[in-house]
Amino acid sequence: MDTKLALFGGDPVRTQLYPQHTTLIDDAEEREVIAVLRGGHLSGFSGRAGERFLGGPKVRELEDRFCDRFGVNYAVSFNSATSALHGAVMAAGIQAGDEVITSPFTMSATPSAVLMHNAIPVFADVEDRTFGLDPASVESRITPRTRAILTVNLFGHPSRLTALAAIADAHDIPLLEDNSQSPGAQCGRGLAGTFGKIGVQSLNYHKAIQTGEGGMALTDDPDVALRLQLIRNHGEAVVGDIGRHDEPSQLGWNYRLTEIQAAIGIPQLAKLDRLNQIRQRLASSLTAGLKEFDFLSPPVIEATCKHVYYLYAMRFDAKKVGIPRAAFAKALRAEGIAIAEGYTKPLYLLPMYQKRRAYGKNGFPFTLNADAAPDYSLGLCPVAERLYGREILTTDICKYPNSEREVEEFVTAVQKVIQNRDKLLSAA
Ligand SMILES: *Cc1c(COP(=O)(O)O)cnc(C)c1O
């Protein structure tokens, strides 16, 4: 093998593009789609009280399968996890101006769902092992206005769900889970997405299983389930007819899944465990392959927990290896290897929070608590800032249809970069 770094004109370790991500879509999904098309009812929803308020047969079947798989009483489908998160914040009884404590180290949709309901995201810091909310930081952010904790099970591993649920209980507020990245992850016998009052799954193209776009909210509480159904489907036109005149929030949206999407979701859900096992196998090979590199800390799997590796996230120690993270990642990318730095900028540093501009220039809804403006300043969450700025590296090579070959190339490329450490540094 050419030992000259691709960055300096050598042959790269990997020359092809990665195969396109798929989720084992085959005849089963095809049959489901054709059956719906031939039946002609592409949506079973109608925005009024009655039988069609809850959607068509495929939507209901998919929801039933989610109840079975996750062991919950109710599953309410949405057209995305973003809309399901909006529904969850609303169904949890949050009012405009209330504070919801959440993570800054997540996809932007998590705290945006809080703003969609005119409530205020308060960011607590994350911790180094699970990259989820740090319970001690959450405690420190609780105020008399705190009305919920919205945790994120990041990268495929549960956040500290037992500790966070205990804090929520002690303050008599609900725990909500954004489980978009972690369906099938668990700790003990508890599945991620089922510790909180409501757990949200994503069914978008990038996630473990997919319907193109889609989401699902899980709960055991019948009142919460009804509220989720109302926000999904024009609640304002329905509450009167079903005798729920006193619902605190009555506005509804059209957040409905189509029958074709739901039909695709049914065989997809049946493949969740297989797809997770593929990721787990490749991730454990990658961890074994990277063992010789003490400057890379592989993902932590807490005792009794199961990781499903939506992303394989490593912590990079620049001091130990003597190479800046950016130079290391750039050299790997030149070798044709999929690697990304930082994951996401802590969300309070986005212009929307810095400028307090969610809906317009007047600062709404951030201005609702004039005497207690939320803090979005640099330094607010030092761990998230450090992970983003210096430590986190992620790769998505553990997903289907990648194989051991992609894992071997990854390890080979890291070896090659380390062998060329001095050349890399003198070029910098
Ligand atoms: C993907 C993702 C979402 C949004 O999912 P959509 O279905 O695309 O709306 C929300 N939160 C997290 C953590 C995600 O990874």
Atom of ligand 1 nearest to the CA of 82: 9
Q: Where residue 369 falls among pLDDT bands split at 50, 70, 90?
A: confident
CA of 272 to the centre of ligand 1 (A): 17
Q: Does 251 score more than 90 pLDDT?
A: yes
First-last CA distance in the chain: 24
Ligand 1, pocket-test mutation among 85, 133, 204, most atoms within 8 A of CB: 204
Mind listing the pLDDT tens digit for each residue in 301-317? 999 999 999 999 999 99
Which helix or strand (DSSP H or E) is residue 328 part of? helix 325-334
Average pLDDT, the chain: 97
Q: Does 21 score more than 90 pLDDT?
A: no
Q: Does 133 score more than 70 pLDDT?
A: yes
How is residue 396 written in tokens?
């998505």
CA of 109 to the centre of ligand 1 (A): 6
Name which of 383, 399, 392 is nearest 311 in CA terms.
399
Q: Does 1 score more than 70 pLDDT?
A: no
- Residue with tokens 């740090």, as numbered in its chain: 134
Across residues 126-144, what is the average pLDDT?
97
pLDDT of 264 reads: 98
CA of 206 to the centre of ligand 1 (A): 9
The pTM of this model reads 0.98
Q: Where residue 247 falls among pLDDT bands split at 50, 70, 90?
A: very high
Q: Percent of the chain beyond pLDDT 90?
A: 97
Mind listing the pLDDT tens digit for each residue in 175-217? 999 999 999 999 998 999 999 999 999 999 999 999 999 999 9
Atom of ligand 1 nearest to the CA of 214: 7
Q: Does 6 score more than 80 pLDDT?
A: yes
Check: CB of residue 105 under 8 Å from CB of residue 387.
Answer: yes
CA of 375 to the centre of ligand 1 (A): 24
Mind listing the pLDDT tens digit for each residue in 325-351? 999 999 999 999 999 999 999 999 999
Ligand 1, pocket-test mutation among 131, 182, 202, 347, most atoms within 8 A of CB: 202
Check: CB of residue 151 under 8 Å from CB of residue 178.
Answer: yes
pLDDT of 373 reads: 86
Mind listing the pLDDT tens digit for each residue in 143-160? 999 999 999 999 999 999
Residues with C-beta less than 6 Å from any ligand 1 atom: 80-82, 106-107, 109-110, 152, 178, 180-181, 202, 204, 215
pLDDT of 371 reads: 82
3-state DSSP assignment of residue 323: coil
User: For the residues of 347-394, what is the DSSP string, one character each?
Assistant: GGGSHHHHTT-SSSTT-TTGGGSTTSPPP--TTSSHHHHHIIIIIEEE
Q: Percent of the chain beyond pLDDT 70?
A: 100
pLDDT of 372 reads: 82
Across residues 359-378, what is the average pLDDT?
92
Q: Does 2 score more than 70 pLDDT?
A: no
Check: CB of residue 308 under 8 Å from CB of residue 208.
Answer: yes
Give the contacts of 365 (CB within 8 A, at least 6 positions apart). 96, 97, 115, 118, 119, 120, 358, 359
Residue 158 vs residues 196, 285, 310, 365, 366: alpha-carbon distances, Å = 12, 21, 12, 31, 30
